[in-house]
């Protein structure tokens, strides 16, 4: 099953290079360099994992993570940053980011994180599906 | 379908065992197990990452290699995030039970960030400080260069040009008003400043960033007002801007020639030129220098001195000692016509006068150079090169009386500052001597010459000035332009025509410097001495040295020999201790909250979240609890398919197996699991090692053979159990397809082996710990060291404390993990009785040799 990834970063060349490399690793890659496009992509596609730059001109990565987790609780967010700051990294983790990686990004490491994040989402989805089925089965008795 | 009645019974049973939440169907059980296994896997991967970052930081703190604050900050961030992930995944395995760890992590994070914080500037310092009243009390806003000049004027009473300081407060305002710091930090983090091409590109990005900033109105006005105040009403005064960066004085750093000075400026051009001097914080040589000297970028606020321009008849530098020989305390004066710039740039011939320290300050030596070029003020603005009139070229540029006056002045400064000094001076057209700069002189001791071995060929180059003593060998690399600089290989001998200050950016990678021109007083010479790179300057034409030619330079002999002459080189280890630079000190402060391990005994009563004092403690606690939670959950489960089972190998053994997923070839529903059922490769590798070589060590206390050893493990759990928790009272393997965790007790020996051998080499690891024994502590400790040595030889990172050995290997291909597991399995079996013979040296040697021979088979 193909994992679908949304890359959000205002640096166009960075996004393009990363998208190419992830496509080679057989991910279904979407990109956005602006907040608006990012949220539109989340609405229109079935995204599994968002890889998000923490600091963009029109988007605060921490706020964006909060919004994504509120609207799409199952989607996992991996934060990327060029700023090594413990406080903001832990802040990002607390509001529910799956992981927090420093640029320059090691592609293998990013791939692992995306796979792990996707696996977590998959497990959650299975659980929800089963609970839903169970609710259907149990329905008449309640 | 399970009948309703049965379901109800199960639910009841679950409630009674305190696990009412357990959804009672196999599908749900599978999901729960998978989720828990995933959480454990993420926790283990985060553990590996955290330990690796900690190890990298500890290595950096102990090694001599330079590193910068981005290294420290990114590792601290990586450890913090990894530890958070461990706590979060432990919270999935044991919901709500250890949430206190989140608070501990937050407290420790605050302590680490305090250790990393830059020194705050005094809050209410003015933007401008005038020369009158300036002194060492202003070091932290005026920078050492201007604070010292203030002392020279206000305390020593020597003549200096009038002027003022644009303080560090102005710098902070400038950076803040343009919101530059986040972008600067981002660029610094994104580049490997150890690489020259990246360093040059980064330098240009950072300087452009600052040059594109706006100087805030209030700063620009303050500069202009201050300049107007010192201007002579009649003359068209001009100014010199000189960097006076904070942090220049730390660790005895000279910062010679790292930043820009701009000379002979009109008042209207001061503000844009100020920005240029500030931008020179990021010249390649300054960045390289900070890295080499371990100075923190964030501590280097650029304050800038603005001085009235001196129209120098003659200028130069005076040292109150020989920089290349701390025993020689005569006064060394370098002098030339016009501005001292010709000397500090290191490019042009000058005069060297050596004056006796004691009265009557006799002139001991005067070498008059052929001074063809000088720097003079341009009539409108700036400074220009000019030919020295023919009748002055070979004339001494200062009189002997002036030399003695300069020597006396320098000695007064030495007396005031309490250290040998390096003073830049100028004699103006009225014959008055002015001090332009005064800083401590970094002297190195002359190195004893090593005898030349017989048959050494004659030197290829002889002569010049020994500006930085010592000897080194490497291939010649000529640098004539910046593009040559990018190609300098590590370990080369740098050969240049002019020893320009910007070549200081290469000093971290070359082993020695030879230059055709220049002398002892140039900036490059000063930096070479500080970084202990042997250097000969002013050696004359160097055409005999061609690229890639292997040479040995012996600066003390002022000679370059063909080939590599080992006998002249300083053997490694004689270079001296590692200097505790500001960056290294910061790292060590941060490490105090990261690396020490206080939670040593998982069964001690103090093994709890509240006692986690460092990030390492939290990782230790999370790891231990996670494994326990996994095991307890597996032992208590109502689903036979997921419960732990007894290992059956010919007979039932005192070993339990808990499969987290994929560790067995097929579903096993009975009570026993057979060795043939195991699919977990790392467990099989460990088992192979345990049974590969028959035991022929000292007879076990019970006199039984290997098979009994495997039984004996739990023969008498009450006897000496180091555990109080019931879960630990058996020997078990927790396995999955790629993971094994072995906990066991062989008699008095406690062992833990854990390994991940999957497709991601970066996450794979093998960890091993071993403690205990039946002998006295001394023999147990000797055995621990014996095992530690064996493992260290096999490339494990090993630590031995009393009778505890811990060892770890990381970043391994899964085949390597399996190979190492065989070794560990072998050691488990073959070292267990050795504590008994540890007092017998011959026996230790015998078993050591036998084990090394056995182990050779595994590799």
Question: Which of these, B730, B756, B531, lies nearest to B631 by C-alpha position?
Answer: B730
Q: What is the largest CA-CA distance in chain A?
A: 58
Mutate to test the interface with A, among B46, B50, B77 (most CBs of A within 10 A): B77
Mutate to test the interface with A, among B83, B84, B593, B763 (most CBs of A within 10 A): B84
Q: Does B67 touch chain A (CB under 8 A)?
A: no
Q: Which residues are B749's β-sheet partners?
A: B746, B772
Q: Tell me if B265 is assigned to some domain.
A: no
What is the chain A residue with the closest CA to B107? A87
Range of the domain at B47: 4-117+591-619
Q: Residue B754 in contact with residue B630, Cβ under 8 Å?
A: no
Q: Tell me the three state secondary structure of residue B798.
A: strand
- Contact between chains at A86 and B113 (C-beta distance less than 8 A): yes
- Contact between chains at B84 and A126 (C-beta distance less than 8 A): no
Min Cα distance B49 → chain A (Å) is: 11
Q: Does B195 touch chain A (CB under 8 A)?
A: no
Q: What is the pLDDT of residue B756?
A: 94
Q: Which two tokens stand for residue B123?
A: 């809050």
Query: Across the interface, which of A86, A103, A119 has its CB nearest the CB of B76?
Result: A86
The number of C-beta contacts closer than 8 angstroms across A and B is 76
- Contact between chains at B35 and A127 (C-beta distance less than 8 A): yes
Contacts of residue B840, defined as CB under 8 A and 6 or more positions apart, other chains included, come to: none
The span from the CA of B690 to the CA of B828, in Å, is 7
- Contact between chains at A99 and B760 (C-beta distance less than 8 A): no
The span from the CA of B711 to the CA of B45, in Å, is 33
- B696 plus B836 within the same structural domain: yes
- B465 plus B530 within the same structural domain: yes
CB atoms within 10 A of CB B289: 25
Q: Tell me if B692 is assigned to some domain.
A: yes
- Contact between chains at B77 and A100 (C-beta distance less than 8 A): yes
Q: Tell me if B48 is assigned to some domain.
A: yes
Question: Which of these, B441, B342, B360, lies nearest to B403 by C-alpha position?
Answer: B360
Q: Residue B474 in contact with residue B510, Cβ under 8 Å?
A: yes
Mutate to test the interface with A, among B29, B80, B86 (most CBs of A within 10 A): B80
State in Å, rounded, how far the first CA of chain B is from the last one. Answer: 53
- B787 plus B742 within the same structural domain: yes
What is the chain A residue with the closest CA to B29? A127
Min Cα distance B81 → chain A (Å) is: 6
As to burial, measured by CB atoms within 10 angstroms (0-12 exposed, 13-18 middle, 19+ buried), residue B722 is: middle
What is the chain B residue with the closest CA to A78? B81
Q: Does B594 touch chain A (CB under 8 A)?
A: no
| DSSP per-residue codes, B31-67 | HHHHHHHHHHHHHHHHHHHHHHHHHHHHHHHHSS---
The span from the CA of B339 to the CA of B543, in Å, is 31
Question: Which of these, B106, B38, B51, lies nearest to B82 by C-alpha position?
Answer: B51
CB burial string B507-535: b at 16+ within 10 A, e below? bbbbbbbbbbbbbbbbbbbbbbbbbbbbb
Q: Tell me if B365 is assigned to some domain.
A: no
| DSSP per-residue codes, B623-663 | HHHHHHHHHHHHHH-S-GGGS-EEEEESEEEEEEEEEEESS
**In terms of CATH, what superfamily is A4-141?**
Response regulator (3.40.50.2300)
- B533 plus B669 within the same structural domain: no
Q: For residue B678, what is the DSSP state? A: B
- Contact between chains at A108 and B762 (C-beta distance less than 8 A): yes
Q: pLDDT tens digit string along B404-421?
A: 999 999 999 999 988 889
- CB contacts of B88 in chain A (<8 Å) are 93
- CB contacts of A116 in chain B (<8 Å) are 38, 41-42, 45
Residues of chain A short of pLDDT 50, as ranges, are: 141-142
Q: What is the pLDDT of residue B715?
A: 38
- B680 plus B544 within the same structural domain: no
- B721 plus B608 within the same structural domain: no
Q: What is the pLDDT of residue B177?
A: 94
Q: Model's pTM, two decimal places?
A: 0.76
The span from the CA of B419 to the CA of B441, in Å, is 8
- B735 plus B837 within the same structural domain: yes
Report the number of distinct structural domains present in chain B: 3
- Contact between chains at B84 and A93 (C-beta distance less than 8 A): yes
Question: Which of these, B418, B435, B439, lies nearest to B153 by C-alpha position?
Answer: B435
The span from the CA of B810 to the CA of B48, in Å, is 8
Q: Tell me if B192 is assigned to some domain.
A: no
Q: Tell me if B834 is assigned to some domain.
A: yes
- CB contacts of A77 in chain B (<8 Å) are none
Q: Which residues are B322's β-sheet partners?
A: B325
- Contact between chains at A86 and B182 (C-beta distance less than 8 A): no
What is the chain B residue with the closest CA to A83? B186
- Contact between chains at B31 and A126 (C-beta distance less than 8 A): yes
- Contact between chains at A86 and B106 (C-beta distance less than 8 A): no
- CB contacts of B35 in chain A (<8 Å) are 123, 127
The span from the CA of B791 to the CA of B805, in Å, is 10
| Angle between helix B814-830 and helix B681-691 axes, rounded to 10 deg | 30
- Contact between chains at B35 and A99 (C-beta distance less than 8 A): no
Min Cα distance A117 → chain B (Å) is: 10
Q: Tell me if B199 is assigned to some domain.
A: no
Long-range interactions of B16-24: CB distance < 8 A, separation 24+: B17/B636, B17/B638, B19/B636, B19/B638, B22/B638, B24/B638
| Alpha-carbon distances of B261 from B270, B274, B317, rounded to whole Å | 12, 10, 16
What is the chain A residue with the closest CA to B110? A87
| Alpha-carbon distances of A43 from A19, A51, B425, B753, rounded to whole Å | 20, 16, 71, 47
The span from the CA of B633 to the CA of B414, in Å, is 75
Query: Across the interface, which of A82, A90, A109 has its CB nearest the CB of B762?
Result: A109
Q: What are phi and psi of B639, to 5 degrees?
A: -105, 110
Q: What is the largest CA-CA distance in chain B?
A: 119
Q: What is the pLDDT of residue B250?
A: 53
Min Cα distance B639 → chain A (Å) is: 18
- CB contacts of B34 in chain A (<8 Å) are 123
As to burial, measured by CB atoms within 10 angstroms (0-12 exposed, 13-18 middle, 19+ buried), residue B371 is: buried
- B559 plus B686 within the same structural domain: no
What is the chain B residue with the closest CA to A94? B84
**B360 upstream amide cis, omega within 30 of 0:** yes
Q: Tell me if B674 is assigned to some domain.
A: yes
- B671 plus B726 within the same structural domain: yes
Please name the residues between 737 and 766 in chain B that touch chain A, using a CB distance below 8 Å.
760, 762-763
- CB contacts of B84 in chain A (<8 Å) are 90, 93-94
Mutate to test the interface with B, among A83, A84, A130 (most CBs of B within 10 A): A84
Q: What is the pLDDT of residue B721?
A: 38
**A104 upstream amide cis, omega within 30 of 0:** yes
- Chain A: residues touching B (Cβ < 8 Å): 55, 82-87, 89-90, 93-94, 99-100, 102-104, 108-109, 112, 116, 119-120, 123, 126-127, 130
CB atoms within 10 A of CB B753: 25
- Contact between chains at B85 and A102 (C-beta distance less than 8 A): no
- Contact between chains at B189 and A83 (C-beta distance less than 8 A): yes
Q: What is the pLDDT of residue B441?
A: 82
Min Cα distance B411 → chain A (Å) is: 48
- CB contacts of A102 in chain B (<8 Å) are 74, 77-78, 189
ipTM: 0.93
Q: pLDDT tens digit string along B477-508?
A: 999 887 888 888 889 999 998 888 888 888 88
Q: Which two tokens stand for residue B380?
A: 């409108």
Q: Which residue has the tokens 């799409």?
A: A72
Q: Does B296 touch chain A (CB under 8 A)?
A: no
Q: pLDDT tens digit string along B231-257?
A: 764 467 899 999 998 876 554 566 677
Contacts of residue B521, defined as CB under 8 A and 6 or more positions apart, other chains included, come to: B316, B317, B319, B332, B334, B343, B344, B346, B350
| Alpha-carbon distances of B94 from A74, B28, B602, B632, B776, rounded to whole Å | 21, 18, 17, 11, 39
The span from the CA of B719 to the CA of A79, in Å, is 52
- B663 plus B753 within the same structural domain: yes
Residues of chain B short of pLDDT 50, as ranges, are: 1-3, 5, 8-9, 12-23, 233-234, 251, 572-577, 700-728
Q: Which two tokens stand for residue A57?
A: 């001109």
């Amino acid at each position: 099953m193909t994992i679908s990834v949304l890359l959000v970063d205002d640096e166009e060349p960075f996004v393009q290079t990363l998208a190419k490399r992830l496509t080679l690793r057989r991910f279904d890659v979407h990109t956005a360099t602006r907040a608006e496009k990012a949220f539109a992509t989340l609405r229109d596609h079935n995204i599994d994992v968002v890889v998000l730059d923490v600091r963009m001109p029109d988007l605060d990565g921490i706020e964006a993570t909060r919004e994504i987790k509120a609207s799409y609780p199952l989607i996992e967010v991996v934060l990327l940053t060029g700023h090594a700051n413990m406080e903001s990294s832990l802040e990002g983790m607390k509001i529910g980011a799956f992981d927090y990686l420093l640029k320059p990004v090691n592609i293998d490491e990013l791939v692992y994180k995306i796979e792990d994040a996707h696996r977590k989402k998959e497990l959650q989805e299975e659980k929800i599906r089963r609970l839903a089925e169970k609710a259907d089965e149990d329905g008449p008795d309640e | 379908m399970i009948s309703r009645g049965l379901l109800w019974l199960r639910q009841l049973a679950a409630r009674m065992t305190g696990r009412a939440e357990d959804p009672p169907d196999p599908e749900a059980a599978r999901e729960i197990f998978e989720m828990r296994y995933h959480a454990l896997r993420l926790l283990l991967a985060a553990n590996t990452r955290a330990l690796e970052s900690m190890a990298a930081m500890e290595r950096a703190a102990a090694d001599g290699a330079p590193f910068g604050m981005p290294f420290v900050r990114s590792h601290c961030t990586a450890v913090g995030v990894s530890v958070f992930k461990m706590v979060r995944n432990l919270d999935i395995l044991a919901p709500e039970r250890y949430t206190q760890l989140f608070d501990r992590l937050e407290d420790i994070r605050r302590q680490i960030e305090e250790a990393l914080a830059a020194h705050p500037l005094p809050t209410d310092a003015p933007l401008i400080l005038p020369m009158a009243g300036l002194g060492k009390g202003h070091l932290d806003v005026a920078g050492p260069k201007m604070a010292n000049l203030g002392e020279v004027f206000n305390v020593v009473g020597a003549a200096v040009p009038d002027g003022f300081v644009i303080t560090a407060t102005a710098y902070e305002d400038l950076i803040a008003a343009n919101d530059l710091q986040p972008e600067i930090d981002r660029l610094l983090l994104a580049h490997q400043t150890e690489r020259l091409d990246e360093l040059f590109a980064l330098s240009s990005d950072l300087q452009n960033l600052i040059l594109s900033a706006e100087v805030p109105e209030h700063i620009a006005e303050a500069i202009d007002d201050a300049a107007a105040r010192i201007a002579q009403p009649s003359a068209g005064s001009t100014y010199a801007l000189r960097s006076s960066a904070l942090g220049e004085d730390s660790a005895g750093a000279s910062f010679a020639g790292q930043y820009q000075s701009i000379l002979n400026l009109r008042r209207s051009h001061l503000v844009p030129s100020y920005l240029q001097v500030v931008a020179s914080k990021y010249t390649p040589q300054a960045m390289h220098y900070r890295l080499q000297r371990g100075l923190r970028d964030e501590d280097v606020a650029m304050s800038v001195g603005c001085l009235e321009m001196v129209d120098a008849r003659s200028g130069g530098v005076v040292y109150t000692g020989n920089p290349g020989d701390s025993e020689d305390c005569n006064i060394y004066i370098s002098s030339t016509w016009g501005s001292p710039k010709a000397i500090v740039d290191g490019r042009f011939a000058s005069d060297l006068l050596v004056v006796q320290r004691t009265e009557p300050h006799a002139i001991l030596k005067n070498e008059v150079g052929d001074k063809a070029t000088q720097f003079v003020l341009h009539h409108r603005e700036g400074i220009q090169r000019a030919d020295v009139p023919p009748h002055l070229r070979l004339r001494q540029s200062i009189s002997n009386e002036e030399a003695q006056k300069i020597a006396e002045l320098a000695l007064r400064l030495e007396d005031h500052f309490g250290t040998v000094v390096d003073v830049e001076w100028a004699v103006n057209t009225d014959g008055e001597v002015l001090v332009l700069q005064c800083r401590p002189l970094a002297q190195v001791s002359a190195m004893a010459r090593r005898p030349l071995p017989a048959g050494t060929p004659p030197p290829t180059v002889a002569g010049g000035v020994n500006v930085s003593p010592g000897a080194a060998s490497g291939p010649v690399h000529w640098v004539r332009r910046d593009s040559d600089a990018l190609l300098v290989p590590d370990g080369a001998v740098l050969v240049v025509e002019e020893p320009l200050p910007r070549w200081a950016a290469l000093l971290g990678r070359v082993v020695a410097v030879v230059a055709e021109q220049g002398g002892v007083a140039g900036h490059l010479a000063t930096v070479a001495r500080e970084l202990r790179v042997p250097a000969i300057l002013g050696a004359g034409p160097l055409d005999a040295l061609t690229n890639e030619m292997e040479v040995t330079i012996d600066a003390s002999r002022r000679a370059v020999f063909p080939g590599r002459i080992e006998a002249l080189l300083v053997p490694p280890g004689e270079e001296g201790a590692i200097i505790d630079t500001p960056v290294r000190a910061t790292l060590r402060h941060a490490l105090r909250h990261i690396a020490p391990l206080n939670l040593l005994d998982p069964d001690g009563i103090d093994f709890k979240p509240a006692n986690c004092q460092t990030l390492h403690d939290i990782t230790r606690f999370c790891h231990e609890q996670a494994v326990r939670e996994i095991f307890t959950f597996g032992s208590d489960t109502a689903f036979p398919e997921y419960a732990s089972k007894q290992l059956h190998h010919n007979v039932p053994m005192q070993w339990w197996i808990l499969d987290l997923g994929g560790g067995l070839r097929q579903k096993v529903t009975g009570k026993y699991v057979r060795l043939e059922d195991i699919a977990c490769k790392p467990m099989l590798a460990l088992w192979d090692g345990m049974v590969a070589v028959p035991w022929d060590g000292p007879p076990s206390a019970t006199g039984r053979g290997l098979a009994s050893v495997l039984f004996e493990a739990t023969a008498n759990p009450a006897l000496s159990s180091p555990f109080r928790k019931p879960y630990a009272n058996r020997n078990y393997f927790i396995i999955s397809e790629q993971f094994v965790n072995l906990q066991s007790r062989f008699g008095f020996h406690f062992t833990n082996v854990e390994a991940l051998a999957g497709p991601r080499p970066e996450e794979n690891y093998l960890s091993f710990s071993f403690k205990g024994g039946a002998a006295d502590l001394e023999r147990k400790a000797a055995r621990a060291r014996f095992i530690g040595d064996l493992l260290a030889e096999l490339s494990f990172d090993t630590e031995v404390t009393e009778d505890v050995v811990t060892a770890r290997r990381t970043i391994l291909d899964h085949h390597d993990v399996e190979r190492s597991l065989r070794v560990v399995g072998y050691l488990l079996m073959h070292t267990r009785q050795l504590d008994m013979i540890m007092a017998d040296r011959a026996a230790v040697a015998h078993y050591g040799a036998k084990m090394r021979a056995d182990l050779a088979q595994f590799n």
